[in-house]
Structure 1
Amino acid sequence: MTFKHVWSDRWSDPRVIFDGLSDDYDRYRPRYAQASLNRMFARTGPVNTILDLGCGTGILTRALKPMVPQALVIGADPGSDMLDQAAVVDGGGGIDWLNCRAEELAVGENSLCLMTAAQAAHWFDRPAFYEECVRTLRPGGTLAILYNNRVRGEPVAEAHERLLETITPGYTREYRDFDVAMELSCINEASAVLVDREVWNWDLTFEEFIGYVRSTSHYKVACKERSETEVITAYADALGPLAQEDGTLRVPYETVVTSARFG
């Protein structure tokens, strides 16, 4: 079985999906709830080798490094544009950067204590990826798949999803609604599957929200059909009435960490 990204016909070439978006991606994407990361490490125990897969510009990778300063931390991504940005932002902070795909990890057998994949697993051919997890994780090693999800039904999130479904050909808000825990439970070598959730609020200006929108692959698709000015105007019309008294937008998020132990 092969799981494809359910709306993008470019799913099979993740090397180019985010080309040209790396600056906005690093600047405007939400970070992951620290409480979620704390609990993740409490479950994994001591680690000395971490691979953050589909790391993009290294948002999660940079959050992990100070939590385990003595560990070898590797950020891996198939997109050279994203990795170039990651290296610049890291500025020699002790993280190694590796260009590879989830289905062909450029690391040795039983070499990893912890593998993370944040906001990325929906791009993978996951059966092939899970085989690589079995190959590369040490006995007792942990795979953690993380997502920052907008809380559905909240006003800004709902307006955003409705607009995306209107202006982005083929987009559906269910595009990455796959059951991570179920998939991990089906892997013979995986056990102790756990889902951890942390709800938090992201308050940002309209300009920051548009920066976030510009960082997405959806935006690239929408701008093939209409001008950037038209897209931004549509967002202003949809979100303007939802601003708080100080002019900011409040977007409730949930950081979801689904983990399993291998071996």
Structure 2
Amino acid sequence: MRFITANLNGVRSAATKGFFDWAPQQGADAIGVQEIKAQADVVAGQFDRIDALQGHFHYAEKKGYSGVGLYTREEPSELLIGFGSPEFDAEGRWVEKRFDKPGRKLSLISCYFPSGSSGEERQQAKFRFLDLMHPHLMALKAQREFILVGDINIAHREVDLKNWRSNQKNSGFLPEERAWLTRLFGTDGEGGGLVDVYRQLEPDTTDTCYTWWSNRGQAYANNVGWRLDYHFATPQLAGLARRAAIFKDQKFSDHAPLTIDYDFDL
């Protein structure tokens, strides 16, 4: 199974830059997109399919804001829109498709974590989101196997961004955010036990790991980037991951698509 994640920074903008010409050529079985910044009236009949993959979407109530989608080749046995938080479900941040069979419970998820970079109010909202998301993911892990893809808006380790020293007090690399990921992955000796699949496959990459670049200055040209886009997986599915690739030959948004191949079928 090939699973791609891409923050589009606007589905219409990404379309004009060739995303919907590129995506059908990738042989993907699932594609998660974030920050579509559009409503159903724009997506329906235009962006709701990618080749043989059918999309389902969680739209933000606020127009031109947030929103996520998940395209899959197979039809799910169940579709969940939102994760049960009135505050954040209003922002369009969670699409989950379940592919359950006898003896198997499996979910694919596209999720968009809040950014706190616009100011303290949004940073506090981001912390509230993290406080809700950790127990939600732990409860899900206790019930089923899953892969969550998305823009997490956190760089976990120093190796995950170019200028880590100067960003230690900035949203996306705050100690509290990084500690949340460490707890989620259980790399502190306790906690969640989910797997950062890219880092499992590519433990040592530095400047080739970035998936986001600021539009300010010459960040992209100089590869002053951050690794903000992830695959989180339960250990069994993470153990079936075989290959990761970040696509940078064409720029569809300020993020680059991340593709991971898994050795199982839906």
TM-score range, shorter chain: 0.3 to 0.5
Higher relative contact order (CA 8 A, sep 6+): 1
- Could you state the TM-score of these two structures normalised by the residue count of structure 2? 0.36
Which protein is bigger by CA-based radius of gyration?
1
Q: Which structure features the higher share of helix residues?
A: 1
When the two structures are superposed, what TM-score results if normalisation uses the length of structure 1? 0.37
